[in-house]
C-alpha cells in the first residue's frame, strides 16, 4: 500500500520504517526541514536499537522517503497516519492542537477516498473530533477516521511493531476494516490477534493499558517501601507474587518511579477524562501520588546517610534515561532527583551511555559530565544508580572502591545482590531491601 505518516517523532518514525520493511511505499512528513534532511541521509533523531539499520535499508530500496510537503504525501497515499505530539497541558489534558490542525489541512487536500488513522495517543472521542473537522470540508464517502493506538516499548520498539502481541483498530467502517486488516496481515502471521472495535473503545484501551502498568509499578514501589519497614526482602516478594499467572512477572520491579513519554502523560490524561465525566478515579489519583513521592525516596536515603546535610557533597550518578536502551529523558525520575540534590547544594558527576546530550540540554553547566562510568566516580562520596543499563550490572567493584572517597552505593534499581555487596564491603542501600553496612 501507499502510506503517509505525518510526524517523524518516536512513533511516526518507527511506524513508517516498519511499514516500509514489509514492502509498503511510505512517505513521512514533518515541518522540521533539518530533521527531514537528516532522515534522508539515514540519520535517526532518536536512539532506538535496530531502527537505523532498518531505515537505511528501506531508503536504499526506495520504500521510504521524507518530505516537508504535506500535499505531496497525501496525494497518492491510501492510508494516512497521524503520529503527532499530544503533550500534556498544565491541567494534564492531552493537547490536541497538532492533530486537529493537521485534520483541517487534510480536509483541503483529499479528493478521493482515504483512511485517516490516529496513531497518536489521544483522549476518548478524538476520532469523532477529527471526523467533525473533516466533514466541514469533505463528504463522508471520501474518508474514514480510524483509531489505531501504538503499544511500543522504547528500547524494543522495532520488535514490538514487527511482532506485536496484539493490534487494536477502532473503526465502524467495513471498508476501513478491510484495508487495516490487509495492512497489518504481515505482522500477525503467527496468529497474534487484530482486535477490531469502535473508536472510543480503542482510544480507551491505550490509556487503560498504560495506566494499569503504571499502577503495577506504583503498587510494587509501595510494597518495597513497606518491606523496608518490616524487614522483608522485596526481591523474594516480587518472585513470590510474580509466579502467580493472574499477576504475572512483568512490571513488578521496584525502583524510583516510572517516567518516559507515555506513562506520566497517559495517567494524567485518563485521570482528567474521569474528572470531565464527573467520575472520582481514586485509584488513578493514588498512582500519581505514589509515583511523585517515590522519586524522592532515594534523596531521603541520602539525607539520612549524610546527617541531613548534602551541601558540598560530591555525588556520582550512573544512568539518566528513564529506562535502559533509550536516550529519552522525558519525565525521567533522574531529573527530579538531580534537581532536589542540586537544590540542597550537592555537586553531581553524571554518566549515561546515550542520554548525556539530552541531559546537557536540560541542565547545562549545573552538572559535571563524565566520559565514562568510572570517570564519574572520581572524588565522589557516593554512587547513585538511577537507570539499570546492562554495562552497570558487572562493573569492576574494586575500581569503584578505589575511585570513590568511600564505598557507598545508593541503588535505585536494585541492580546488585545484597550478599555480594556485603562480601565486597560496601555500604549499600537499595529499594525494599535491608541496608548493607560496610565493614
**Per the domain annotation, does 100 fall within a domain?**
yes
Q: What would the mean pLDDT of 336-365 be, rounded to a whole number?
A: 97
pLDDT value of residue 338:
98
pLDDT value of residue 148:
98
For the chain, the domain total comes to 3
Q: What would the mean pLDDT of 332-359 be, rounded to a whole number?
A: 98
Are 50 and 166 members of one domain?
Answer: yes
Cβ atoms < 10 Å from Cβ of 411: 25
Are 36 and 114 members of one domain?
Answer: yes
Whole-angstrom CA distances from 9 to 12, 47, 84, 436 are 5, 11, 8, 43
Active site residues: 262
Are 189 and 218 members of one domain?
Answer: no
Q: CB within 8 A of 419, min separation 6: which ones?
A: none
Using the 3D structure, point to which of 271, 293, 315 is the last residue of a domain. 293
Inform me whether the pLDDT recorded for 438 exceeds 90: no
Using the 3D structure, point to which of 236, 263, 293 is the last residue of a domain. 293
% of the chain with per-residue pLDDT over 90: 95
Are 102 and 242 members of one domain?
Answer: no
Q: What would the mean pLDDT of 262-274 be, rounded to a whole number?
A: 93
Cβ atoms < 10 Å from Cβ of 81: 28
Here the CATH number for the domain that contains residue 402 is 3.40.50.720
pLDDT value of residue 89:
82
- Mean pLDDT taken over the chain: 96
The better pLDDT of the pair 408, 94 is held by 408
pLDDT value of residue 41:
94
pLDDT value of residue 213:
97
**Per the domain annotation, does 439 fall within a domain?**
no
Are 143 and 247 members of one domain?
Answer: no
Inform me whether the pLDDT recorded for 20 exceeds 90: yes
- At residue 87 the predicted structure's pLDDT band, cuts being 50, 70 and 90, is confident
Distance CA 404, CA 316 (A): 9
Distance CA 408, CA 125 (A): 51
Query: Which of 68-74's residues contact partners 24+ apart within 8 Å by CB, and which partners?
Result: 68/29, 68/30, 68/31, 68/32, 68/33, 68/36, 69/29, 70/6, 70/29, 70/102, 70/105, 70/109, 71/109, 72/27, 73/4, 73/6, 73/27, 73/28, 73/29, 74/4, 74/106, 74/109, 74/110, 74/114
Are 105 and 215 members of one domain?
Answer: no
Q: What would the mean pLDDT of 80-86 be, rounded to a whole number?
A: 95
Are 52 and 192 members of one domain?
Answer: yes
Inform me whether the pLDDT recorded for 439 exceeds 80: no
Are 370 and 386 members of one domain?
Answer: yes
Are 362 and 261 members of one domain?
Answer: no
- At residue 405 the predicted structure's pLDDT band, cuts being 50, 70 and 90, is very high
Are 107 and 222 members of one domain?
Answer: no
Q: Domain range for residue 110? A: 2-196
Distance CA 366, CA 349 (A): 10
**Which single residue is written with the C-alpha cell 528500547?**
155
Are 285 and 304 members of one domain?
Answer: no
Using the 3D structure, point to which of 293, 320, 349 is the last residue of a domain. 293
Cβ atoms < 10 Å from Cβ of 369: 17
Are 425 and 383 members of one domain?
Answer: yes
Q: Minimal CA–CA distance to 261: which of 16, 88, 61? A: 88
Give how far the C-alpha of residue 392 lies from the chain's centroid of Cα atoms, to the nearest Å: 21
Q: What is the pTM of this model?
A: 0.93
**Per the domain annotation, does 437 fall within a domain?**
no
pLDDT value of residue 94:
85
Distance CA 329, CA 355 (A): 7
**Per the domain annotation, does 201 fall within a domain?**
no
Q: What would the mean pLDDT of 137-155 be, rounded to a whole number?
A: 96
% of the chain with per-residue pLDDT over 70: 100
**Per the domain annotation, does 435 fall within a domain?**
no
Inform me whether the pLDDT recorded for 226 exceeds 80: yes
pLDDT value of residue 93:
83
Strands of 359-403, DSSP E: 368-369, 382-385
Q: What would the mean pLDDT of 113-117 be, rounded to a whole number?
A: 98
Here the CATH number for the domain that contains residue 230 is 1.10.1040.10
Amino acid at each position: 500500500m501507499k502510506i503517509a505518516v505525518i510526524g517523524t517523532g518516536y512513533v511516526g518514525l518507527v511506524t513508517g520504517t516498519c511499514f516500509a520493511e514489509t514492502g509498503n511505499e511510505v512517505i513521512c512528513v514533518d515541518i522540521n526541514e533539518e530533521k527531514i534532511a537528516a532522515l534522508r541521509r539515514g540519520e535517526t533523531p532518536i536512539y532506538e536499537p535496530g531502527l537505523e539499520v532498518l531505515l537505511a535499508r528501506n531508503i536504499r530500496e526506495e520504500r521510504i522517503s521524507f518530505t516537508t510537503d504535506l500535499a505531496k504525501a497525501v496525494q497518492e497515499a491510501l492510508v494516512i497516519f497521524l503520529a503527532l505530539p499530544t503533550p500534556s497541558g498544565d491541567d494534564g489534558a492531552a493537547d490536541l492542537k497538532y492533530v486537529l490542525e493537521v485534520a483541517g489541512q487534510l480536509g483541503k487536500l483529499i479528493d478521493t477516498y482515504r483512511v485517516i488513522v490516529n496513531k497518536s495517543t489521544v483522549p476518548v472521542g478524538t476520532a469523532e473530533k477529527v471526523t467533525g473537522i473533516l466533514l466541514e470540508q469533505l463528504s463522508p464517502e471520501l474518508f474514514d477516521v480510524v483509531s489505531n493506538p501504538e503499544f511500543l516499548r522504547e528500547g524494543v520498539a522495532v520488535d514490538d511493531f514487527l511482532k506485536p502481541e496484539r493490534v487494536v483498530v477502532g473503526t465502524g467502517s467495513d471498508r476501513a476494516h478491510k484495508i487495516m486488516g490487509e495492512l497489518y496481515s504481515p505482522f500477525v502471521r503467527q496468529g497474534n490477534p487484530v482486535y477490531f472495535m469502535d473508536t472510543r473503545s480503542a482510544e480507551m484501551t491505550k490509556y487503560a493499558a498504560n495506566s494499569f502498568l503504571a499502577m503495577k509499578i506504583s503498587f510494587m514501589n509501595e510494597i518495597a517501601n513497606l518491606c523496608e519497614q518490616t524487614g522483608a526482602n522485596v526481591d523474594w516478594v516480587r518472585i513470590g507474587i510474580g509466579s502467580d499467572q493472574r499477576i504475572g512477572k512483568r512490571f513488578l520491579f521496584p525502583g524510583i518511579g516510572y517516567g518516559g513519554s507515555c506513562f506520566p502523560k497517559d495517567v494524567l490524561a485518563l485521570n482528567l477524562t474521569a474528572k470531565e465525566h464527573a467520575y472520582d478515579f481514586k485509584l488513578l489519583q493514588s498512582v500519581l501520588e505514589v509515583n511523585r513521592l517515590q522519586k524522592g525516596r532515594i534523596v531521603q536515603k541520602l539525607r539520612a546517610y549524610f546527617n541531613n546535610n548534602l551541601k558540598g557533597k560530591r555525588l556520582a550518578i550512573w544512568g539518566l534515561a528513564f529506562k535502559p536502551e533509550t536516550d529519552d529523558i522525558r519525565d525521567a525520575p533522574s531529573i527530579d532527583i538531580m534537581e532536589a540534590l542540586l537544590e540542597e547544594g550537592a555537586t553531581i558527576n553524571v554518566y549515561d551511555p546515550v542520554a548525556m546530550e539530552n541531559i546537557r540540554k536540560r541542565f547545562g553547566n549545573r552538572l559535571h559530565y563524565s566520559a565514562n562510568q568510572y570517570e564519574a566516580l572520581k572524588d565522589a562520596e557516593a554512587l547513585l544508580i538511577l537507570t539499570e543499563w546492562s554495562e552497570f550490572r558487572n562493573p569492576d567493584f574494586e575500581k569503584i572502591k578505589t575511585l570513590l572517597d568511600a564505598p557507598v552505593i545508593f541503588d535505585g534499581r536494585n541492580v546488585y545482590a545484597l550478599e555480594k555487596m556485603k562480601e565486597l564491603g560496601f555500604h549499600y542501600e537499595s529499594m525494599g531491601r535491608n541496608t548493607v553496612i560496610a565493614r
